[in-house]
Amino acid sequence: MDIQAPDQQYNPYRIFSREQWAKLRDDTPMTLEPGEFERLRSMHDRLDIHEVEDIYLPLSRLLSIYVDATQRLFYAQRQFLAIQDRKMPYIIGVAGSVAVGKSTTARVLQALLARWSPRPKVDLVTTDGFLYPNAVLERLGMMQKKGFPESYDQALLLSFLSDIKAGRRPVRAPVYSHLTYDIVPNQFVEIDRPDILIVEGVNVLQTSRLPRDGKAVPVVSDFFDFSVYIDADEPVLREWYVTRFLALRDTAFHDPRSYFHRYAVLSDEEATATAIAIWERTNRANLEDNILPTRPRATLILKKGADHVVETVALRRL
């Protein structure tokens, strides 16, 4: 079924063309209404019925198999240990670069998975809420590295995921505003024992240095049951970022409350130059140093072309 090539002999992934992957949908029904595509799609990302049918419905079918198998294993282990633990939420991580379309993928998966029978509770959180507030980043001289692993309150994020896996209720996650580019003080979203939780963020597959003493060092992905990496070539990602920046200049940046309000008056040439400078200084550096190296840790990789369409799918072998 997967693409056969000499260099695939020792590949831990099975690689599927779009056409091969689309056939795996089988009889998975389309549960999204036509009007929902616009709501689920992020700015300048592509989402239409063909993308959902060819990519996300087969993925939804695969995830149903994984979730069911995990539940059966949980009950078998509980019987073996003679314990009565409550079933833990199934956690799916969604990773990838800025501007690659993580938010769209996460929202589509949430919408599709929530319509399985018998209607599981599916929640979604982004790790943006676990960034340090701007005041802290400025004090530490880290504003230019916002989005890098060190810019997150890892202890708070790990505590959140640990509480979710332990079945505590409710568990609160901080709220982030893309308008003010900062944590919203004293605002939280409550996650109350979901059946499935989707965690989306650029660095959710990040590891840490191995300790010499062999003590456990938890990382975010330790709490994942399945992970998706959204991939695209760097020049394509830069183009998407610049296009999004120009669109925001004409819309959200005009709001006086916007952190980027000063960019609303830039010409096309000035805005393009500014976006490229931000990309090179921050987003490309983060991609090359921190995000891209985590790609091989994902369970599944969706590779996009310049038109935002997923061209190949890589699924880790069992």
Strand 182-191 versus strand 171-177 pairing type: antiparallel
What pLDDT sits at residue 229?
A: 98
pLDDT over 50 (residue 248): yes
Q: How far apart are CA 215 and CA 146, in angstroms?
A: 29
Q: How far apart are CA 53 and CA 76, in angstroms?
A: 34
What pLDDT sits at residue 90?
A: 96
CB contact at 8 A, 91 and 100: no
User: Which amino acid, one-letter code, is at 314?
Assistant: A
Residues 132-145 have a mean pLDDT of: 96
Locate the domains of the chain by residue range.
Answer: 6-316
DSSP-assigned letter for residue 289: I
CA distances from 291 to 139, 148, 266 (A): 25, 9, 30
DSSP for 99-159? TSSHHHHHHHHHHHHTTSTT---EEEEEGGGGBPPHHHHHHTT-GGGTTSGGGB-HHHHHH
Average pLDDT of the chain to the nearest whole number: 93
Residues 172-188 have a mean pLDDT of: 96
pLDDT over 50 (residue 1): no
Residues 196-225 have a mean pLDDT of: 91
pLDDT digits (tens, 9 = 90+) for 251-300: 999 999 999 999 999 999 999 999 999 999 999 999 999 999 999 999 99
Q: Band the pLDDT of 117: cuts 50, 70, 90.
A: confident
H or E stretch covering 175: strand 171-177
What pLDDT sits at residue 2?
A: 47
Residues 180-203 have a mean pLDDT of: 96
Q: How far apart are CA 241 and CA 277, in angstroms?
A: 11
- 124 Cα distance to chain centroid: 10
Residues 93-105 have a mean pLDDT of: 96
Residues 49-69 have a mean pLDDT of: 95
CA distances from 59 to 9, 23, 93, 193, 198 (A): 24, 11, 14, 23, 14
pLDDT over 90 (residue 36): no
Higher pLDDT among residues 87 and 181, named by residue: 181
Report phi then psi at 42, rounded to 5.
-80, 165
What pLDDT sits at residue 209?
A: 81
- Residues near 54 by Cβ (< 8 Å), separated by ≥ 6? 18, 21, 22, 25, 310
Lowest mean pLDDT among 1-15, 56-70, 74-88: 1-15
Q: Band the pLDDT of 8: cuts 50, 70, 90.
A: low
H or E stretch covering 255: none
CA distances from 1 to 19, 21, 39, 198 (A): 11, 9, 34, 28
- Residues near 125 by Cβ (< 8 Å), separated by ≥ 6? 173, 189, 191, 197, 198, 199, 200
pLDDT over 90 (residue 84): no
Q: Band the pLDDT of 42: cuts 50, 70, 90.
A: confident
What pLDDT sits at residue 7?
A: 57
Q: How far apart are CA 28 and CA 115, in angstroms?
A: 11
Residues 95-113 have a mean pLDDT of: 96
Counts for the chain of helices (H) and strands (E), in that order: 10, 9
Nearest to 24 by CA among 50, 49, 51, 60: 60
Residues 164-179 have a mean pLDDT of: 93
Alpha helix (H) residue ranges in the chain: 18-22, 36-40, 49-51, 57-81, 102-113, 134-139, 154-165, 234-249, 268-278, 284-286
Tokens found for residue 292? 């891209």
pLDDT over 80 (residue 163): yes
Q: Band the pLDDT of 9: cuts 50, 70, 90.
A: low
CB contact at 8 A, 221 and 292: no
**pTM for the model:** 0.94
CATH 3.90.1640.30 correct for 6-316: no
Residues 125-134 have a mean pLDDT of: 97
pLDDT digits (tens, 9 = 90+) for 212-244: 888 888 999 999 999 999 999 999 999 999 999
